[in-house]
Structure 1
Amino acid sequence: MAGEPQADCLFCKIAAGDVPATIVRETETTLAFRDISPQAPTHVLVIPKVHYSDAAELAAAEPVIAGDVLREAGQVAADEKVDGTGYRIVFNTGPGAGQTVFHAHAHVLGGRDLQRLV
């Protein structure tokens, strides 16, 4: 059921503390941790603690929590000190866009020139 933890979801397991991750921020509704395969010097994932398969599903069902994810992404950028030079917040939605874990999540990328990335 959407919103409920999924037994086979890696990010649900990380949120529950069952799988280790390098956590950089945590709120009541979100968790932010370092990507295990970073694409930039700063590459942090921000997830909602509730399970929705992608950003669109999360936004439709839980717009306040979707806003929490975005707010925390901005706070991660500030904490990582990339807010002054520029950063990206990316939501991959679907396998054709590169989504490999089907739990909504934002990638916060910064610390290098990102202008050439689309």
Structure 2
Amino acid sequence: MANIMNETLVVENLKKFYQVKGKDQLVKALNNVSFTLAPRTTLGIVGESGCGKSTLAKTLMNLEKKTEGSISFSGKSFDDISDKERYQTMQMVFQDPLDSLNPRKK
């Protein structure tokens, strides 16, 4: 397990583009997103519908492949981290976590 003091998430110039079906056009969902998240800190992503919040989360969890840029955690490139290792150290919290985590709700 990594030392907690080194567990920093660094995102640099992250891009995620989608090809519009049937057209010669790209949607730039993420364009040059950069931030550093230090240990024991929390980051909230807010914005209008369609601004790239979910795309950012999915890209960080490797559910979507990035178009360009780099993501590293604890000094290790995400390209070199297995999905299992990523899922053991990171998780998504959905917009309504009570609905997602409530075992009594169907």
Return the TM-score normalized by structure 2: 0.31
Greater fraction of residues in helix: 1
